[in-house]
Amino acid sequence: MEERVFFNKGNVSVSNSRFIVDGQTYVISNVTSVKSGEIAGSYSGAMILLIIALCFFAGGAFMKLLGAALLMLAIYVLTKVKSTYTVILNTSAGENKALSSQDKTHVESIVTALNDAIVSRG
């Protein structure tokens, strides 16, 4: 059977026989299922900054200025928090997080290609 490529972008390749990511090769015939996962970004650093900024507002003029600067920094950090999306392979050996990315559409494309590769093998 000729190898058919379902996805090939950057360091990721999915064919009907192999899934290659970052130099690691997974044999499609050993993959029983595939799914995507999401790891939510952490807001704890931004929240700590926010609490400290609010405490500074209780002080004098200089402290309020410092509080305003910390508040702006906290808001900036909040806007930069992103979730991480993962490709999770199930094999006879168990579950394996094969790839992580902050690009949800990239991960979804890879999961779709892996599902197509699993179906194509019959």
Taking alpha carbons only, the member of 27, 1, 2 closest to residue 14 is 27
Q: What is the pLDDT of residues 15-55, one digit of tens each?
A: 999 999 998 999 999 999 999 999 999 999 999 999 999 99
Taking alpha carbons only, the member of 41, 18, 37, 45 closest to residue 97 is 37
**Host H or E run for residue 77:** helix 61-80
Whole-number pLDDT of residue 18: 93
What sign has the CA pseudo-torsion 118, 9, 12, 104? negative
Rounded to whole angstroms, the Cα distance separating 90 from 106 reads 19
Q: What is the pLDDT of residues 52-106, one digit of tens each?
A: 999 998 888 999 999 999 999 999 999 999 999 999 999 888 899 999 999 999 9
Whole-number pLDDT of residue 122: 67
